[in-house]
Amino acid sequence: MEAEKLKEKILEIVPEGQLEANKQFPTFLIPSGKFKSLAAKLKEDKELDFDYLFCLTGVDWGAELGVVYHLTSTSLNHSVELKVKTENRETPEFETVADLWKTAEFFEREVWDLYGIRFTGHPDMRRIFLEEDWVGHPMRKDYTDEVNIVEL
């Protein structure tokens, strides 16, 4: 599907989505409450057929925490980037997409471990890199580690 038609189709599904310009892939900021239903439609709609989640990344934008999803259709050869954000830094959470794309299981655990973003409905939401008793999430901009201070 050509990029313009893909953009139109996504904005038809989620009119509240915001298209970001000048990106490698068509990139949309999606309201978090609309993301899961959009993700399901992107996978199930045969005209879109986004069958592969090839990257899921946590991000700390300062005032907001978020997740960036990169999806591709291996059969139709098109890709899209989706972003969700939350201003809730105390208990940030989004719905899991591990039930849609198996690759999300480990990606979501990594984001939980390093950024503290929970994914509701995830089948195994626990740390993946750090010890279970580790305090905090080291990729967050507000993280401090009084034990392993590195002076530059």
Q: What is the pLDDT of residues 64-122, one digit of tens each?
A: 999 999 999 999 999 999 999 999 999 999 999 999 999 999 999 999 999 999 999 99
CB atoms within 10 A of CB 19: 12
Tokens 């901009």 belong to residue: 141
Cα radius of gyration (the chain)? 16
pLDDT at 133 > cutoff 80: yes
Q: In this structure, which amino acid lies at residue 82? A: L
Task: Quick: pLDDT tens for 2-18.
Answer: 788 888 999 999 999 99
The terminus-to-terminus CA distance of the chain in angstroms comes to: 49
Whole-number Å distance between alpha carbons of 128 and 104: 13
CB atoms within 10 A of CB 52: 16
Q: Could you give the 3-state DSSP secondary structure of residue 60?
A: strand
Whole-number Å distance between alpha carbons of 142 and 30: 25
pLDDT at 63 > cutoff 70: yes
Q: Exposed e or buried b for every residue in 73-87, given b needs 16+ CB within 10 A?
A: beeeebbbbbbbbee
pTM: 0.92
pLDDT at 40 > cutoff 60: yes
Query: Phi, psi (5° rounding) for residue 70?
Result: -115, 120
61, 85 Cβ separation under 8 angstroms: yes
Alpha helices in 31-145 (DSSP H): 32-44, 104-115
Question: Which residues 6+ apart lie within 8 Å of 43 measured at CB?
Answer: 49, 50, 51, 100, 101
Task: Write down the mean pLDDT value for the chain.
Answer: 93
